[in-house]
Amino acid sequence: MGSFPEEHDWGLLQTVLGGESSHESWMQLALEEARVAATEDEVPVGAVILSGGRVIASGHNQREQLADPTAHAEMIALTQAAASLGSWRLENCVLYVTLEPCPMCAGAILQARVPCVVWGAADPKAGAVESLYRLFEDRRLNH
């Protein structure tokens, strides 16, 4: 499992998650979303976003179903989270996603100001956090 920032701000995580937390339990929710995607003949990727220790958004890949190239799990969850909070700034949120974000999703995560991202598997084909690119390390991208 990978995460950003590499050096966790555990105080932030405890505040966001409401105390003691287990990455595995939150990742299980993202895996449930990925299973839904698989049943819909989508690439099985799922995501959940937490704020204040509760899930405020979830999503799974829906590119085929929606005929939308941007309908990745992370994009859907980010849109839901922004609507839930009434703000595009997701500064006190944690995103759990089953696969390392691609360049598009990593860019959206940066723009939304999500301070912590935890992913389940590296993506050597399109990973934009560690595998191919390191977009989260380029502070010029978050203006």
How far is it, in rounded angstroms, from Cα 105 to Cα 71? 10
How far is it, in rounded angstroms, from Cα 87 to Cα 111? 12
How far is it, in rounded angstroms, from Cα 77 to Cα 81? 6
pLDDT tens per residue, range 43-54? 999 999 999 989
pLDDT tens per residue, range 70-93? 999 999 999 999 999 999 999 999
**74 catalytic per annotation:** yes
pTM for the full predicted model: 0.86
* Structure token pair of residue 94: 């944690």
Q: Which of 33, 42, 74, 130 is catalytic?
A: 74
Least confident range from 3-12, 24-33, 52-61, 62-71: namely 3-12
Q: Give all domains of the chain, ordered by start, each with its CATH number.
A: 8-141 (3.40.140.10)
Give the per-residue pLDDT at 140: 85
